[in-house]
Chain A
């Protein structure tokens, strides 16, 4: 069951609460009452850390950040109504492992996971991976406790969805992306910088045809699939462009 924990940091917030997910899914419906489905882009940014394995790779890891329709049948459901976003890891078998990097005493994970812009209905999905990016997710612990920056950006039109993923680079994963820089990175369009290091960015185009979004994407959806290690979510920002 998801639990709330608390962690001390050097930088603000110096005592930060987090939501811990272990093989679980978080969904939260957005208030889109002002404009319904007529949005062009939604950006979901997370201030996160993965549990520290203590040196080994983080096995059976799947991390999805995106949107779904309602809270009943999200991305992880075999009856998923409609979901789109960015996924790190293999959503079918989930047998991939995020590669551990020592980071000079401030460990992080980078590599080892496939990555897709993805759209899912039922148990099937459409996905694409064009181009490459070097992702980075900080691990808990280390010389300095750290929070990282991860973002999914989903743009849509009548026939197409453009799911993109962004993370901080390895250069900044050894430092704490504290609150002000979390907001500052999310504020930046295009390819953001975290702690003045350029982020990893990848965007896909999925041409689905008219009516693809008749079950509107109206709910934030985060899936974490590791039965052993937790995902910590310290903060979340959702920005909507109509």
Chain B
């Protein structure tokens, strides 16, 4: 069960949702009335027993789905779109890993070049993964003098029309340099609103993948995409969710 904790940062104390092999779903107030939204989060990942080991078989998914009863994790999910790294939800071999990186001054972080944009329609998964993006996430450890840090991940979802057509998706993540910094709410909001190209946050450009990876959608047939969904599949390595924000671009 997800638990709420709090943690001190240089900018003050912040609560977080500790997610372990769970999903978090929340309807958005605008329902399906959007053409393009960005979903962003501030987060950190636990380590494997404070060891310099990769997180194996990890699966982090962020996107939208049809109501809270249709998490993309369910076998009969009617409709969902999103971004996954390093393994997609339906990947049974789950061979990709979040690679451990020592970082500087103890500020360790995880990285992955493996990602997938996915669609679930009537229980069937379809994926697309062209382009290149490195996702990085700070670890939650403060051993070795590390800062308490939050990182960010943003998914950009764009409909070609309001109800049916194609959805293209993009994504952004903190760059390597960001993992030695603590990213705050204002950094997240700046990145969400900066949609022309790779946002520059605290002096460094985010890792950025522009809209692409087109997949067809039909909300009349499969249900409206009106709920934000976040899933994390590891029991023993938690995902600390500090903030989740949705920005309607259009």
Contacts and interface: CB of A to CB of B under 8 A. Distances in A.
A187 B236 contact: yes
A188 interface: yes
B234 interface: yes
A125 interface: no
A187 B234 contact: yes
A192 B75 CA distance: 24
Nearest to A198: B56
A148 B21 CA distance: 23
A190 B95 contact: yes
Contacts of A193: 56
Contacts of B75: 242
Interface residues on A, range: 10 to 19
B9 interface: no
Contacts of A181: 49, 236
A188 B236 contact: no
Contacts of B13: none
B220 interface: no
B94 interface: yes
A180 B49 contact: yes
A180 B57 contact: no
Given A180-B236, A183-B236, A242-B75, A188 B56 contact: yes
Contacts of A184: 48, 234-237
23 contacts: A180-B49, A180-B236, A181-B49, A184-B48, A184-B235, A184-B236, A184-B237, A186-B235, A187-B57, A187-B235, A187-B236, A188-B57, A189-B91, A189-B92, A189-B93, A189-B94, A190-B57, A190-B92, A190-B93, A190-B94, A192-B56, A192-B57, A196-B53
User: 3 tightest CB-CB pairs across the interface, nearest first?
Assistant: A189-B94, A188-B57, A190-B93
Given A184-B48, A184-B237, 20 more contacts: A180-B49, A181-B49, A183-B235, A183-B236, A186-B235, A187-B57, A187-B233, A187-B234, A187-B235, A188-B56, A188-B57, A189-B57, A189-B91, A189-B94, A190-B93, A190-B94, A190-B95, A191-B95, A192-B56, A196-B53
